[in-house]
Structure 1
């Protein structure tokens, strides 16, 4: 291994010795650095990019070259240099682009010349979008994110970056990547990470986002979650309905006239850009652009995003992108951050020959050792010089990383992280760590510790989780998890205890199996449609015991295995000795007149509680997500989703007489679900299910088909339940049933036309849920509401319909990210 490293370093040094180095600075007329200015070798696609201080360097073989420096909005400059064995310094000072105006007859109502230029660009848009059916290039990616200010405390906890630096301004993230980007239209693409590094994290793989933000697309997606609707390109087919244009003038480069157009949204709070786009005269292609998105562009997570792009000729007909830079800025909860993400494209091949199996399910492949390249390698290949602050950040964080591996440091980190935190202990649960031994202990929050129901009265429910990572390899899935729990009811004096053991592994695809057993209390609908906290509130304060419980001695085995191509197989065995429970407490703090607790069984479908019995159940299933894409790390493969629907089939059988089992049935369920991105039209989500009992010789109420109902203010999960349906009203053991959930998230469509709503960024959402079990068991509910309230909340009005008549109405409140209340 050392010999190979030496050979690599020798090759790098030898190659560098044969090439001449040009370096210099690119500034404006006032001596201010032109950030990420482009440096090109005339007549080629060779070049580099200056850094944020305007510094650049370029390695070239001996010869005479014409070097071009250019920056969007400035007149480019050319200089000729002869390269030999010595280094050369070549500085550029660019002046603001002097524009010449076309002769236009000005009269009242005359159209701005920009509109005709844009119309021509719109006509040519499909041609340039599909001009290159395939290409391959290399991309250098550098991303950095910095803080200008941050609060001293967050959620009552002191903020500590563990770097010994208490200054307000600091580098949060710094990463560099060299990747090969391959595309075959319309939808095939692949990213291969050749080398990558992250400041202070030698085991990470950095950023790998070489995708070109193509303004030849009608709808443009920039990053993730900036706007669920995407953004309208200034030359989209419908752009004239969204934008105003102003002709600023033109300039000439290499005999080509280039028109500068100012772009302005017609309306605020639409997903639109503002800024400048430069269009070539005659062939109407994009030469360069400087565009901006702000909060009024309906961005959600950041305050502003500037985008700069520069294209260069590859040949007489084809132009390719040379640089793309994104500048995000955000102010949130006292944090003030800004950054830059630059992509430099080179080594284009516009006629690549791809192997038939080159484009597969692997969307992003990170090669072994890509994050282990020495500093000498990066110094020789990096096209954008590091800034002084970046050099200092690499040095400081790499030194800190080495120090952090010291056992004494790990002990001190454990001591700091393991201090009790009040909010975590009460609301989210707290974890305690032993880094040297790769161990974590997690304890459930106090909100889950104490509860009340009519079966157990007040109860104490103690639990947690112990996790042991079995490998030192970063990202390894091999781990063992143990979850013990104990529960005591003060009214029925029952003590229950259980534990589960889970082993996860998979050198390639994820796999897991688990064993669990003990004695515990469950809801009759094992999907737990009402949470412990919600049931406590409803029972103790409002005298409504919606949850129905039973007790069981149990043993379970479950497995799940990804096998590739979007396929996961799963299954298991379960044994339960089921014991009915009765109410033992009638206390309610609310003590409402005329309201009493109901028996501890579903009175909608039963006259009395079930009898004690035993159940031995097996189940097996398969899910398939066609077109699944994967990220392939050296030690694992990660599923990143698909644009196709997820198909899931599950078969369960109650096995009669085995281990004394009293049940005897077979049932199935087939499910289809998908989230469809309709860009400007919003997001459409659905889940459809069909199932039933194939055999039902002996079926207990616990094994019925249950639907997740809801009778409290907090919403049930939207695609998994019904917002107004009583919990057990339509539970059945029918041979067939159908269930559907649909909803459309308008994501700002329509509400961005209403002054108040567009400013507070509330989004309209509408949908419907339906089920059919037989002619007497049909139910439909429709709902409409608003989401994105305070970024996390959702409010719905819901109408429940039976046999064509509205039988119930209500409102529901959902909180994103907190699960069921």
Structure 2
């Protein structure tokens, strides 16, 4: 019995020692007002935390003797001795404000000169400190809290506000998020984050900051960027070229132990640049950063928020190595009368600057989210939560958990499902109707009538019904079935086909797919106009751009990664193809003689007798398509839903091969090979981003092939155009398709407001400037060129450009696109 008791006591003591004791308290100013987000750390360690909005902090410590440091920008640093023996300790602190007295004994010109001398030293050491720590790992606690401060009562009714847990004045938390991650980093550019715990309630976080990687701020980098706020980067106050963009002023000097700290005010030379306001704290002689308090305002071209404050504190790991302890993003904003505010906190602990990662540790996986990490219990969060929850945060979590529990109760399943899936006529007319059964993991989507009805000269007024059925299985395997029924009132032809896709290994992007049936297909296999836009063009301008053919087909294919960054795809198809002709020549307010035949190679008038001459004979075609897409240095995220590819700063290459086989009744016989190089949104710092697409290809065998087998290009004859990478603005959709060799190149640069952001009144519109050009050469069209400029605002874009080529007139005009 004594042995059992002894073992129990030993286990209990060991458990207490492992969990440690709690140091907590409240931090306030000399008037007793709480100070929010004050960093607290144990001197000589990288163990620290940050106070919550009410100044309350907490820190787990083992028995021992410590020195606790309270350091807050704008207040004098305070240190307190602490002894932990066998119980929790409460330690309340009052901080005194810093006194800026430097100006009283330093002449103005000397002050300015001193600040620039200091900053030149800091800038000269920037690169050294950037590369000082080659690799490290640490534990990061992340917290995000977004609140609604007010909202128009007209838009946000009282009953909706109640459902959202807002008070009668439409105030309250709308999003709350916490996570614990193991963060691993190696220079240059190697990151691997493993999320260990997640707790969230409400909507998604603004900017998409859902992981520690998104919240990294390294002021030693020349440029800082956060994709959720701007397409341009921001210039660090200590960048190599910072003296071109910033003015500096020495505000104060104070001491921290034996170190002298300079407080430097940074202000932009030009207000509308991508630059910061604020202060940075510099350690003299070392010329390294001690802390920073920086601000971005709307005029710095940030999206979604009006102001953004960034506070970062550094602490020493050794005498010569300092690392970030805490990072605080706080923001305010207004959209359509909705005023909101929030913050993101990141606290790094337990740094190891000599982790000795294994050779293959950084394998491209940058973020890993394990299964059930959002199911951690209260004990886990009690031991790992760095920032104490406020009362309203506890209440918000509690209400959210109650709502989830109620939704999952068996007796509530049918009523909840019925309410969520209720059919509403007016919303359905504007957008599709979606039926979801979360318990059987089934989703059914039915497109709106606006997407079902269309008009073209081949089919007349037609209907195309294409619902989608999605079934999710264990391990996030999915089965998607898309039946499609189509009927034209003019040609009286009914077609039906079905597409099936089964994703059996999300981690390898592995799937098998197939289709069978009949359909009317675009003669340009790269795509032209949507059915909706072609309807508008035909009816109101008399331009029936879309050209079709009819096919009966059966195909099967598969895709999957054979290694990280190498995705293979293969498909086999047997099809019977038929030429079709116009059966309707109706156009609103336009003479039908402007309409053309369905033959894109010889676009006769639709009334010409030759318009019914077939483009190609009806025939059978057996073909295969294969491709290998290679993403260099591919990085990806793994979560329970599968593998998701991250944006890359490296180009991608795709090798395509097609072959037609003259067997089993097929009469096609050809071999086509092409290679594509492309990259989307290559970051160019303060100058926005660029995109490019280059493709070269050739038919090595062209014994027997027909127009649908040709290499097609994405043209742009209509006022509405496709702004996706690799599209032309003015090229005929069909005329220059080829069965020979070709070369095409496209380049586009989005300056993201670099120029217009300097223009008064216009800069508030957040308009982005776009320039670009395209080039094509092939046997029928030598040295075809396009150049254009454009303006983009959110989802809409308007371009003006011109084109010319050998034996072609110069074309010019406007092109418009939208991406709703």
Q: Report the TM-score, using the length of structure 1 for normalisation.
A: 0.92
Task: Output the CA distance in 2 between the equivalents of 1:10 and 1:445.
Answer: 64
The alpha-carbon distance between structure 1 residues 564 and 642, as it changes in their structure 2 partners (threshold 3 A), is farther
Correspondence for 1:388 among 380, 386, 391:
391
Instruction: Report the CA distance between 1:370 and its aligned residue.
Output: 3.6
Q: Does 1:515 align with 2:514?
A: yes
Instruction: Report the CA distance between 1:464 and its aligned residue.
Output: 0.9
Task: Output the CA distance in 1 between the equivalents of 2:197 and 2:783.
Answer: 59
Task: Output the CA distance in 2 between the equivalents of 1:156 and 1:449.
Answer: 34
CA offset digits 1:768-801 (Å, max 9, x no partner): 111111274431111112222xx22211111111
Task: Output the CA distance in 2 between the equivalents of 1:509 and 1:197.
Answer: 28
Task: Output the CA distance in 2 between the equivalents of 1:801 and 1:156.
Answer: 57
Instruction: Report the CA distance between 1:314 and its aligned residue.
Output: 2.0
Structure showing the higher helix proportion among its residues: 2
Instruction: Report the CA distance between 1:626 and its aligned residue.
Output: 1.1
Could you say which residue in structure 1 is the equivalent of 2:799?
796
Q: Aligned with 2:532: secondary structure?
A: helix
Task: Output the CA distance in 2 between the equivalents of 1:543 and 1:93.
Answer: 77
Q: Aligned with 1:436: secondary structure?
A: coil
Superposition pairs of residues 48-127 of structure 1, within 5 angstroms: 48-101=49-102, 106=107, 111-127=112-128
Q: Does 1:706 align with 2:712?
A: yes
Superposition pairs of residues 434-453 of structure 1, within 5 angstroms: 434-453=437-456
Could you say which residue in structure 1 is the equivalent of 2:654?
648
Could you say which residue in structure 2 is the equivalent of 1:174?
176
Could you say which residue in structure 2 is the equivalent of 1:689?
695
Task: Output the CA distance in 2 between the equivalents of 1:197 and 1:355.
Answer: 31
Task: Output the CA distance in 2 between the equivalents of 1:157 and 1:538.
Answer: 45
Instruction: Report the CA distance between 1:198 and its aligned residue.
Output: 2.4
Task: Output the CA distance in 2 between the equivalents of 1:108 and 1:285.
Answer: 24
CA offset digits 1:144-183 (Å, max 9, x no partner): 2222234678799996896566752232222222222222
Q: Aligned with 1:268: secondary structure?
A: coil
Correspondence for 2:770 among 765, 768, 775:
765
Could you say which residue in structure 2 is the equivalent of 1:583?
582
Correspondence for 2:271 among 256, 263, 268:
268
Could you say which residue in structure 1 is the equivalent of 2:607?
none
Q: Does 1:553 align with 2:552?
A: yes
Task: Output the CA distance in 2 between the equivalents of 1:446 and 1:156.
Answer: 30
The alpha-carbon distance between structure 1 residues 554 and 161, as it changes in their structure 2 partners (threshold 3 A), is farther
Correspondence for 1:465 among 465, 468, 474:
468
Q: Does 1:212 align with 2:216?
A: yes
| Preserved CA contact (<8 Å) 2:481 2:500 | yes
| Preserved CA contact (<8 Å) 2:165 2:172 | no
Could you say which residue in structure 2 is the equivalent of 1:565?
564
Task: Output the CA distance in 1 between the equivalents of 2:194 and 2:298.
Answer: 34
Task: Output the CA distance in 2 between the equivalents of 1:481 and 1:113.
Answer: 67
CA offset digits 1:594-618 (Å, max 9, x no partner): x422111114489732221111111
Instruction: Report the CA distance between 1:369 and its aligned residue.
Output: 5.0
Task: Output the CA distance in 2 between the equivalents of 1:102 and 1:477.
Answer: 64
Q: Aligned with 1:130: secondary structure?
A: helix
CA offset digits 1:11-60 (Å, max 9, x no partner): 79823588443221001122222111122223333332211111112233
Q: Aligned with 1:328: secondary structure?
A: strand
Q: Does 1:139 align with 2:145?
A: no
Q: Does 1:407 align with 2:384?
A: no
CA offset digits 1:106-130 (Å, max 9, x no partner): 3779845322221221111111111
Q: Aligned with 1:808: secondary structure?
A: strand
Superposition pairs of residues 280-291 of structure 1, within 5 angstroms: 280-291=283-294
Could you say which residue in structure 1 is the equivalent of 2:130?
129
Instruction: Report the CA distance between 1:518 and its aligned residue.
Output: 1.4
Task: Output the CA distance in 2 between the equivalents of 1:157 and 1:81.
Answer: 51
The alpha-carbon distance between structure 1 residues 10 and 730, as it changes in their structure 2 partners (threshold 3 A), is farther
The alpha-carbon distance between structure 1 residues 545 and 636, as it changes in their structure 2 partners (threshold 3 A), is closer
Q: Which moved more, 1:528-537 or 1:746-755?
A: 746-755
Task: Output the CA distance in 2 between the equivalents of 1:499 and 1:282.
Answer: 72
Number of matched pairs: 798
Instruction: Report the CA distance between 1:492 and its aligned residue.
Output: 1.4
Structure 1 residue runs of 5 or longer lacking an equivalent are 1-6
The alpha-carbon distance between structure 1 residues 161 and 499, as it changes in their structure 2 partners (threshold 3 A), is farther
| Preserved CA contact (<8 Å) 2:146 2:341 | yes
The alpha-carbon distance between structure 1 residues 152 and 705, as it changes in their structure 2 partners (threshold 3 A), is farther
| Preserved CA contact (<8 Å) 1:259 1:280 | yes
Could you say which residue in structure 1 is the equivalent of 2:599?
601
Q: Does 1:612 align with 2:612?
A: no
| Preserved CA contact (<8 Å) 1:569 1:621 | yes
Task: Output the CA distance in 1 between the equivalents of 2:153 and 2:57.
Answer: 38
The alpha-carbon distance between structure 1 residues 145 and 623, as it changes in their structure 2 partners (threshold 3 A), is same
Could you say which residue in structure 2 is the equivalent of 1:487?
486
| Preserved CA contact (<8 Å) 2:736 2:781 | no
Root-mean-square deviation over aligned CA pairs:
2.8
Q: Aligned with 2:374: secondary structure?
A: coil
Could you say which residue in structure 1 is the equivalent of 2:420?
417
Instruction: Report the CA distance between 1:394 and its aligned residue.
Output: 2.1
Task: Output the CA distance in 2 between the equivalents of 1:436 and 1:551.
Answer: 41
CA offset digits 1:84-123 (Å, max 9, x no partner): 2233221101111123417866377984532222122111
The alpha-carbon distance between structure 1 residues 282 and 103, as it changes in their structure 2 partners (threshold 3 A), is farther
| Preserved CA contact (<8 Å) 1:499 1:516 | yes
CA offset digits 1:448-501 (Å, max 9, x no partner): 211111111111222211111123xxxx43122221221111111111222222
The alpha-carbon distance between structure 1 residues 166 and 48, as it changes in their structure 2 partners (threshold 3 A), is closer
The alpha-carbon distance between structure 1 residues 334 and 430, as it changes in their structure 2 partners (threshold 3 A), is farther
CA offset digits 1:258-309 (Å, max 9, x no partner): 1112211111221111111111222221111111112111112322211111
Correspondence for 1:626 among 616, 624, 632:
632
| Preserved CA contact (<8 Å) 2:514 2:557 | yes
Instruction: Report the CA distance between 1:232 and its aligned residue.
Output: 0.4
Superposition pairs of residues 198-277 of structure 1, within 5 angstroms: 198-199=200-201, 207-210=210-213, 212-221=216-225, 223-277=226-280
CA offset digits 1:632-686 (Å, max 9, x no partner): 235733222322111111111111132x112111112210101321112321110
| Preserved CA contact (<8 Å) 1:279 1:286 | yes
Q: Aligned with 2:273: secondary structure?
A: coil
Could you say which residue in structure 2 is the equivalent of 1:344?
347
Task: Output the CA distance in 1 between the equivalents of 2:752 and 2:331.
Answer: 22
Structure 1: which 4+ aligned runs deviate by more than 6 Å? 9-13, 102-105, 107-110, 152-158
| Preserved CA contact (<8 Å) 1:524 1:702 | yes
Q: Does 1:189 align with 2:191?
A: yes
Task: Output the CA distance in 2 between the equivalents of 1:158 and 1:176.
Answer: 28
Task: Output the CA distance in 2 between the equivalents of 1:495 and 1:154.
Answer: 45
| Preserved CA contact (<8 Å) 2:20 2:62 | yes
The alpha-carbon distance between structure 1 residues 181 and 551, as it changes in their structure 2 partners (threshold 3 A), is same
The alpha-carbon distance between structure 1 residues 576 and 783, as it changes in their structure 2 partners (threshold 3 A), is same
| Preserved CA contact (<8 Å) 2:103 2:111 | no
| Preserved CA contact (<8 Å) 1:605 1:731 | no
Correspondence for 1:374 among 368, 374, 377:
377
Correspondence for 1:750 among 741, 752, 755:
755
Q: Report the TM-score, using the length of structure 2 for normalisation.
A: 0.92
| Preserved CA contact (<8 Å) 1:477 1:510 | no
Q: Which moved more, 1:622-631 or 1:301-310?
A: 301-310
Task: Output the CA distance in 2 between the equivalents of 1:542 and 1:337.
Answer: 46
